[in-house]
Structure 1
Amino acid sequence: MSNKLLVKSNPELLTPVAEYFKVLSEVSRLQILSCLKEREMNVTELTEATGLGQANLSKHLKVLTQAGILTRQPQGVSAYYSISDPMIFELCDLVCQRISERIQQQAEYFKSLF
């Protein structure tokens, strides 16, 4: 995201950013992305890997595909899903790193109290 986008604070420009983060704000979708990090999978494989019901899984796959994060490739009677935007994992790594740092800071603070 460019600094120009942040500075302008124009809702029309910020809406797609908010929508992208909204797609990632669902635990089940993050679980699906995690499963697809290593290889493409079909719905049956994803159902087994995530424990999600097929209808629920299909709903999330549709959202992720419409957002351009996943691609869907029909193969015979199945469709295989894969990550179309690998940068998504860089974003997730940044967020996880920040959360880890915050937890460590909180732990140090609580240690200092005793």
Structure 2
Amino acid sequence: MPRKKDPEPPKPLMTDKALELIAMRFRALSEPMRLKLLNVLMQGEHTVGQLVEATGSGQANVSKHLAMLREAGMIGMRKEGLSTYCYIADAMVNELCEMMCRRLRDEMEAQARALAFDPKI
């Protein structure tokens, strides 16, 4: 008779500091404008001016949201002459967005199947 596998010990609880850092990341992702900026940046590096144009928002609003994304460690910025370039600094941002999009697509497809008419009826 095979021996029962010992249960894995529970993972240690995260510290309050770790939980605060995780919450900061999720707060950064909780605003549609920041998601729009990340969506544009996933296509490649852009200047702040290009991001203003791509989002149709004002420079002050874009700058405010970029600052939060930068503070959360999701984007980086570099100066070149008079221009400031922004880029995705954490590849996990791409993975997280792709994972969420896949999940939403699966849920919507399941809803569409559930709502489909049966031609036999």
For Structure 1 versus Structure 2, the TM-score category normalised by the shorter chain is 0.7 to 0.9
Superimposed CA distance per residue, residues 48-92 of structure 1 (whole angstroms, 9 cap, x where no aligned partner): 111111110000010011111111101111211111112211111
In structure 1, the gaps of 5 or more residues are none
Out of 20, 27, 30, the position equivalent to 2:25 is: 20
Out of 57, 76, 91, the position equivalent to 2:96 is: 91
Amino acid at match of 1:58: S
In structure 2, the gaps of 5 or more residues are 1-9
- Partner-residue secondary structure (3-state), 1:4: coil
The TM-score normalised by the length of structure 1 is 0.84
Alignment of 1:4-15 (within 5 A): 4=11, 8=13, 11-15=16-20
Out of 106, 111, 121, the position equivalent to 1:106 is: 111
Structure 1 runs (4+) greater than 3 angstroms displaced:
9-13
Paired residues, number: 110
Does residue 46 (structure 1) correspond to residue 74 (structure 2)? The answer is: no
Does residue 68 (structure 1) correspond to residue 73 (structure 2)? The answer is: yes
Amino acid at match of 1:36: L
- Partner-residue secondary structure (3-state), 1:68: coil
Aligned-pair CA distance for 1:30:
1.0
Among all aligned residue pairs of Structure 1 and Structure 2, give the percentage whose two residues are the same amino acid: 38
Higher helix share: 1
Aligned-pair CA distance for 1:13:
3.5
Amino acid at match of 1:92: C
The TM-score normalised by the length of structure 2 is 0.80
